[in-house]
Amino acid sequence: MATAAPVRRAQRAPHNPPPVARRYYTVEQAADFYGVNPRTIRRWLTENKLTAYRVGGHLLRLDAAEVEALAVRCDPSDVSA
């Protein structure tokens, strides 16, 4: 009497969630976010407070998460009236 071969189950591929699309701000959008002049954003770029990416060799874009992370919550006692 022949014995049946063991049944092999197909292995599932590991679940890899789809990559999250990054959001980018223009210099003007980042300035609007903080309520500052675009020159301030450009100064922050030269001071390495933010990182810019060139798009098409000319346009600058800033990672939205990095722009938003620059804002830090402050203690109410640190704020003068």
Query: Residues near 43 by Cβ (< 8 Å), separated by ≥ 6?
Result: none
Instruction: Give per-residue pLDDT as tens, 5-60.
Output: 777 776 676 777 777 788 999 999 999 999 999 999 999 999 999 999 999 888 99
Q: What is the pLDDT of residue 8?
A: 72
Measure the CA–CA gap between 62 and 5, rounded to whole angstroms. 59
What does the chain come to in residues?
Answer: 81
Structural domain contains residue 63: yes
Q: Looking at the 3D structure of the chain, how many domains does it have?
A: 1
The answer as to whether 68 is a domain residue is yes
CA-CA distance, 66 to 77, in Å (whole number)? 26
Any idea what the CATH number is for the domain that residue 40 is in? 1.10.1660.10
Question: pTM for this one?
Answer: 0.66
